[in-house]
Amino acid sequence: MRGIVADVANENATRYLYIETYGCAMNLADSEVMASIMIGNGFKTTNDPLQADVVFLNTCAIRDNAESRIWGRLKEIKHHKKKNPGMIVGVMGCMAERLKSKLLEQEQLVDIVVGPDAYRDIPKLIEQVEEGQKAVNVLLSREETYAEITPVRLSSNGVTAFVSIMRGCDNMCSFCVVPFTRGRERSREPESIVRETTELYNQGYKEVTLLGQNVDSYKWESITSLGVTINFAQLLEKVALIAPDLRIRFSSSHPKDITDEVLYIIKKYDNICNYIHYPLQSGNSRVLKLMNRTYDRDWFIQRLKKIREVLPDCGISTDVIVGFCSETEDEFQDTYKLFEEAQFDFAYMYAYSERPGTLAARKYADDIPAEIKSQRLAEIIALQNKLSTANNKKDIGKTFKVLIEGFSKKSDQDFKGRNDKNQTVIFPVSAEYKKGDYVNVLIEKTTTTSLIGKVIK
């Protein structure tokens, strides 16, 4: 994902800020917090990097190709800087945290490096650069949640928004850099989450997605009221009660933390979407142990059955990594067979990419040849496309309540939206309806990725 900000005005602003966002929804939420801080310090945003006084790339370090894209983009921006010698270029986010001084060592590429917990410090870092120094702050925090900062909604459709409920991650999956780039888990005060979500609803937003590296482990403990603890299920209920026509989604989850309490709260409230992202990573128990996922194949399957028992119509997506260290062909086939059994609606599928500093990089050899990784990835993608197509065809003739998010990517003669199960729905534009309306759509045909239909009364 690359999000380029829309113009956001500050009538007293004298300088322009340009932000590009790469990677996950958490990064987009961080860009919105950072923009709010900068607007409060005399900046306004622009969607033109050539106009900008300060350019920031909000980066992802989850895979090697994500970092390669950033290096390429920095070299492109270097050419912009030749036309605007006073331009300050910064790198923020996970790649900044991981590479730190290496970024500053690149001549004329980067002036500022700032980690995910140091966005409040950016105005001071800019002052340092203006005084002739390069500037860096990548210190991680055990307290920072930016709870009281109202994010500036960047590239917003005015209908859907992200609300960050926690930061960091305590799950030490052996393949993942997130605990090292984003630090330990800490949860936002629930009242601040409810307040931000209520403000969004009052501004006309119809859907919020609660964000965290692992939302199900959300846990807020009061420091003033002894014994008061709010878990994720309780937070989900508080947000659902804001308004019955405000849709609630959440991302992302770890299988070990999706409690029955969460499932029954989803079932209780119609405005909590019937959709769970349920990351598998591997269908083989030995590989899962190497990944430090804390569950095995059988446990994952039993938990999936429980989700479908409580929420029979729940849309379920997953993540998978093929070609992890020492994975055999038979072990890959365990993943393939689990996909066939699980019938996921959608999957994010990747070949293993070793990340320096992780447990896997330190302990295990990245010993699966690239061509084998590519072959396994192609096989699992082909299978999931087949499953998605078949699952979507089952919805022909059904009617879904859909929130109109805007025009289809392919045509301004069609609207697009999502149903309760997070499926994309395409249907003809009508003067009777507008972005932000709920409509009932009868599904007439499907593709691998979308449902296509017409609005019915």
Output the domain CATH number for residue 221.
3.30.750.210
- Distant-in-sequence, close-in-space partners of 410: CB < 8 Å, separation ≥ 6: none
b (16+ CB within 10 A) / e for 106-144: eeebbbbbbbbbbbbbbeebbebbeeeeebbbbebeeeb
Residue ending a domain, among 216, 244, 273, is: 273
Residues 123 and 248 occupy one common structural domain: no
Q: Cα–Cα–Cα angle for 364, 367, 371, nearest 5°?
A: 145
Does residue 333 belong to any structural domain of this protein?
A: no
Does residue 132 belong to any structural domain of this protein?
A: yes
Closest CA to 18 of 77, 101, 67, 70: 77
Residues 179 and 243 occupy one common structural domain: yes
Residues 167 and 243 occupy one common structural domain: yes
Does residue 445 belong to any structural domain of this protein?
A: yes
Closest CA to 239 of 248, 251, 250: 248
Side by side, which strands form the sheet with 275-277? 275-277, 315-322, 346-351
Tell whether the torsion through CA atoms of 247, 253, 255 and 256 is positive or negative. negative
Length of the chain: 457
| C-alpha span between 166 and 146 (Å, rounded) | 10
| C-alpha span between 160 and 153 (Å, rounded) | 10
Residue-range definition of the domain harbouring residue 124: 2-137
Whether 187 contacts 218, CB under 8 Å: yes
| C-alpha span between 88 and 110 (Å, rounded) | 8
Q: What is the CATH number of the domain that holds 448?
A: 2.40.50.140
Q: Which amino acid is at 21?
A: T
Does residue 19 belong to any structural domain of this protein?
A: yes
153: tokens are 């909604």
**Three-class DSSP category at 120:** helix
Residues 234 and 267 occupy one common structural domain: yes
Does residue 323 belong to any structural domain of this protein?
A: no
| pLDDT for the residue 224 | 64
Residues 95 and 41 occupy one common structural domain: yes
Closest CA to 392 of 456, 455, 315, 340: 315
Backbone angles phi, psi at 183, to 5 degrees: 80, -170
Residue ending a domain, among 234, 255, 273, is: 273
Pairing label, strands 160-164, 135-137: unpaired
Residues 25 and 76 occupy one common structural domain: yes
Whether 135 contacts 54, CB under 8 Å: no
Q: How many CB atoms lie within 10 A of CB 313?
A: 9
| C-alpha span between 25 and 198 (Å, rounded) | 20
Does residue 292 belong to any structural domain of this protein?
A: no
| C-alpha span between 262 and 274 (Å, rounded) | 12
| C-alpha span between 9 and 11 (Å, rounded) | 6
Residues 199 and 231 occupy one common structural domain: yes
Q: How many CB atoms lie within 10 A of CB 64?
A: 12
Residues 48 and 85 occupy one common structural domain: yes
Question: For 84-225, where are the alpha helices, taking DSSP H only?
Answer: 94-99, 101-105, 122-130, 178-182, 190-202
Where would I find the beta strands (DSSP E) of 313-423? 315-322, 346-351, 399-407, 414-418
Residues 31 and 71 occupy one common structural domain: yes
Closest CA to 389 of 321, 444, 343, 342: 343
Whether 43 contacts 54, CB under 8 Å: yes
| C-alpha span between 143 and 117 (Å, rounded) | 9
185: tokens are 């888990």
Beta-ladder partners of 17: 45, 54
| C-alpha span between 49 and 28 (Å, rounded) | 18
Residues 131 and 7 occupy one common structural domain: yes
Residues 97 and 180 occupy one common structural domain: no
Beta-ladder partners of 317: 277, 346
Q: Cα–Cα–Cα angle for 253, 259, 264, nearest 5°?
A: 110
Closest CA to 180 of 311, 46, 371, 360: 360
Q: List the chain pLDDT tens, one digit each, 457 residues.
A: 444 445 555 566 789 999 999 988 899 999 999 999 999 999 999 999 989 999 999 988 777 777 888 899 999 998 888 888 889 999 998 888 888 778 877 767 899 999 999 999 999 999 999 999 989 999 999 999 999 999 999 877 899 999 999 999 999 999 999 999 899 999 999 999 999 999 999 999 999 999 999 999 999 987 765 668 999 999 999 999 999 999 999 998 999 999 999 999 999 999 999 999 999 999 999 999 999 999 999 999 999 999 999 999 999 999 999 999 999 999 999 999 999 999 999 999 999 999 988 999 999 999 999 999 999 999 999 999 999 999 999 999 999 999 999 999 999 999 999 999 999 999 999 999 999 999 999 999 999 999 999 999 8
Does residue 235 belong to any structural domain of this protein?
A: yes
Taking the model in full, what pTM does it have?
0.91
| C-alpha span between 128 and 152 (Å, rounded) | 25
Q: Which amino acid is at 130?
A: E
Intra-chain end-to-end CA distance of the chain, in Å: 36
Does residue 421 belong to any structural domain of this protein?
A: yes
Q: What is the CATH number of the domain that holds 59?
A: 3.40.50.12160
Closest CA to 250 of 3, 35, 422: 422
Closest CA to 189 of 141, 249, 148, 240: 148
Reported as type and span, the H/E element at residue 251 is strand 247-251
Residue ending a domain, among 74, 105, 137, is: 137
Residues 126 and 207 occupy one common structural domain: no
Domain count across the chain: 3
Backbone angles phi, psi at 94, to 5 degrees: -65, -40
